[in-house]
Amino acid sequence: MSYTISFKKPAVLQALRYHFMKQSEIKTLMIIINLYAVVTAVLLFMKKIRPEPFLLGSILWIALMLYFWFILPTQFYKKTTLFKERWDFSFTNQSATLIGALGEASWGWDTVTHYFESPEFFHFYFSPKSFFLIPKEGISMEDQHTIRGILKDK
């Protein structure tokens, strides 16, 4: 099957947020900051500490959320010209191919180490940090189901 795909900025930014928030380092950092905030809130309530440590935790939490939710996806989008082009996406049971003005990429489904779906994209991972987004928009529901089946079999 062959489809022409293009990327819409708001959808790509949301997909990048999913990607970054699923990274184990970011998850761990967010858990630590949340635990710190809870512990300092309890200690503040018990009047064991002054408000400054709680305020520090709150500021850290807000700063990290702003960075991971807004700044990092926007920077990544701006640096990646791939999202600004139209691509022809085709796939078979053995491989997938992208052809566009920037070039051509092809991969066998067995090179995809894992994948997940966000509401508007398939996220294909070739290593923990190497991934590609394929928009679901424009791909028939039957072919989306076929892609899921291929990936589950591999």
pLDDT of 154 higher than 80: no
Q: Determine contact, residues 133/8, Cβ cutoff 8 Å.
A: no
List the domain boundaries for the chain: 2-8+81-153, 20-79
Which pLDDT tens digit goes with each residue over 32-75? 998 998 999 999 999 999 999 889 888 988 999 999 999 999 99
Residue 44's pLDDT is 92
CA distance 21 to 104: 29
Which pLDDT tens digit goes with each residue over 133-149? 999 998 999 999 999 99
| Mean of all residue pLDDT scores within the chain | 92
Whole-Å CA distances, 118 to 29, 80, 98, 100, 136: 22, 20, 20, 24, 9
CA distance 28 to 35: 11
CATH 2.30.29.30 for the 2-8+81-153 domain, yes or no:
yes
